[in-house]
Amino acid sequence: MKRGLGLLVAAPLLLVPMGLLVALVNSAGNDAATIANLIWLLAIVGAICVFLWGLTLIAWSLLKE
């Protein structure tokens, strides 16, 4: 249960450094902005996966009780 809650908290925190990285790279030019947008998309998908994994761990621990 604690690990699941930790993942729920960690998911949004993954987006903060990626957002800063994208903001820095976006100012470099068009090609870099395209790459930065792909990185941002991957970060969002990764955060969603971590969030869902946290929910799965919480549900699993509740079902085992």
- Give 5-11's long-range contacts (Cβ < 8 A, gap of 24+): 5/54, 5/58, 6/54, 7/50, 7/51, 7/53, 7/54, 7/57, 8/51, 8/54, 8/55, 8/58, 10/50, 10/54, 11/47, 11/48, 11/50, 11/51, 11/54
Overall pTM > 0.75: no
* pLDDT score of 1: 67
Residues 1-54: tens digit of each pLDDT: 677 778 778 777 777 777 777 777 767 667 767 777 787 788 888 888 888 888
